Amino acid sequence: MPRLKNPYRSGRRAERIVAERLSKKGWLIRLSKGSKGPWDIYALKSGRKMLIQVKKGSSTFSRKERRKLRREARKRGAIAALARYNRGKIIFRFV
């Protein structure tokens, strides 16, 4: 019997992959528990902070989500970013 895809599980996997790649580039990483907030990953390197929302495949990132992420990043003196993971590639976009 084929295994059904679980969107939550595949999204968490994408978050871990993005976190691992950032970690290899020297970023200190903290994954958000449960991914219920505006960001999935908090990244820190040389005093620079990034709040990152990870999307897998063609998942959408609404205007409301973008605004919320930017607002939270501003409060924390961080950069807001979207990381899209699709077929082994990660594309970053600052929002």
Query: Over the stretch 22-62, which tens digit does the pLDDT of each residue have?
Result: 999 999 999 988 767 899 999 999 999 999 999 998 878 88
Q: What is the pLDDT of residue 6?
A: 79
Sheet with 41-45, edge to edge strand ranges: 28-31, 41-45, 48-56, 79-86, 89-94
Choice between 88 and 26, residue whose per-residue pLDDT is larger:
26
Structural domains of the chain sorted by starting position, each given as residue range(s) with its CATH number in brackets? 7-94 (3.40.1350.10)
Q: What is the pLDDT of residue 68?
A: 95
Phi-psi region of 84 (alpha: psi -120 to 50; beta: other; left: phi over 0): beta
| Token output for 4 | 């059904």
